[in-house]
Amino acid sequence: MSPESDSDSTNDNDEYIVPALPSDLKHIRLKFKKRPVDESIKRSEEFYRLMDGRRTVRHFSKEPIPKEIIYNIIKTAGTSPSGAHTEPWTFVAVSSLEMKQQIRQIIEDEEELNYKKRMGKIWTTDLKPLKTDWVKEYLTDAPYLILVFKQTYGVRDDGKKKLHYYNEQSVSIAWNPFGGNSRLPPLRALETIFGSPALRKYAGLVSLTSTPLNCGPALKKLIGRPASEKLTLLLPVGYPSEDCSVPDLHRKPLDDILIEI
């Protein structure tokens, strides 16, 4: 990657900055199984159909989920590519009801101000059909809240820093296994990734890609994350409630999103 304006600039002489990777890093042969072209086409169609079933939801059941699932999803997130392999992410998995209540309080207080004062008429009018507001039961109903923090830089135990290039893009890729799934993903996505029939029985989890506006600093303080980290996303994860509904939205056709040159 060539340095760009959106990447952190570096002062090469800074003695407090350590290299991201060892200079003698070994390179190994890629493990890659080439599939017949027909099979690849078929499998890519199947994958599209699977992903086309994903929806974000705002109505969660209180039913608990095994934490192994959360571990597997976070391990999956941790397989993402990142700038100079710096892996600039921290996932905080909250299942304590008391902590979820405190998080909900912070977010609802802030979101009430957002909706009433900060977001403005155009934004709130745009959201009206989606029936969102500042009351967020999902924050205490969902068995898990996953807070995704991007590490804007890394700090070693000896206090030395590592530059985290493209941390924004890296983290955006990393949380994708959670992203807006219903019916079967994200665990179907996990099955796709791991090919593991053992995970099938857990299929049916849903999540919401929520971005609580102006809540980052208070949540970071509550959870005790360091200055180097910024909250990028908060994902409730669990089963949908019995009466869960979603807006009847349709996706742009390929012609509207693809330009072939």
| CA atoms of 117 and 112, how far apart (whole Å) | 8
Q: Is 50 in the site for ligand IYR (CB under 6 A)?
A: no
Taking alpha carbons only, the member of 151, 152, 147 closest to residue 178 is 147
Q: Is 241 in the site for ligand IYR (CB under 6 A)?
A: no
- Which of 102, 209 has the CB closer to ligand IYR? 209
- Which of 79, 245 has the CB closer to ligand IYR? 245
Q: Is 176 in the site for ligand IYR (CB under 6 A)?
A: no
Work out how close the CB of 132 gets to ligand IYR at its nearest, in angstroms, rounded to a whole number. Answer: 4
* Sheet of strand 229-238, all strands in order from the earlier edge strand to the far edge: 89-94, 144-151, 229-238, 206-207
Beta strands in the chain (DSSP E): 89-94, 144-151, 153-155, 161-163, 206-207, 229-238
Taking alpha carbons only, the member of 175, 202, 174 closest to residue 187 is 202
Structure tokens at 94: 């909250």
| 154 DSSP β-pair partners | 162
| CA atoms of 211 and 194, how far apart (whole Å) | 29
Structure tokens at 39: 């099979």
- How many Cα atoms within 13 Å fall on the side-chain side of residue 258? 5
Q: Is 41 in the site for ligand IYR (CB under 6 A)?
A: no
**Contacting range for ligand IYR; rule: CB under 6 A; set: 33-41, 91-99, 196-204, 211-219:** 211-219
Work out how close the CB of 37 gets to ligand IYR at its nearest, in angstroms, rounded to a whole number. Answer: 39
- Which of 148, 163 has the CB closer to ligand IYR? 148
Q: Is 125 in the site for ligand IYR (CB under 6 A)?
A: no
Q: Is 132 in the site for ligand IYR (CB under 6 A)?
A: yes
For ligand IYR (CB under 6 A), the number of binding residues is 7
Q: Which of 127, 156, 160, 247 binds ligand IYR (CB under 6 A)?
A: 127
Work out how close the CB of 126 gets to ligand IYR at its nearest, in angstroms, rounded to a whole number. Answer: 7
- Which of 56, 151 has the CB closer to ligand IYR? 56
Work out how close the CB of 123 gets to ligand IYR at its nearest, in angstroms, rounded to a whole number. Answer: 7
For residue 14, give every residue at least 6 positions away whose Cβ sits within 8 Å of its Cβ, in sequence order, or none. Answer: none
Work out how close the CB of 40 gets to ligand IYR at its nearest, in angstroms, rounded to a whole number. Answer: 34
For residue 105, give every residue at least 6 positions away whose Cβ sits within 8 Å of its Cβ, in sequence order, or none. Answer: none
Q: Is 18 in the site for ligand IYR (CB under 6 A)?
A: no
Residue numbers at the binding site for ligand IYR (CB under 6 A): 111, 127, 132, 210-213
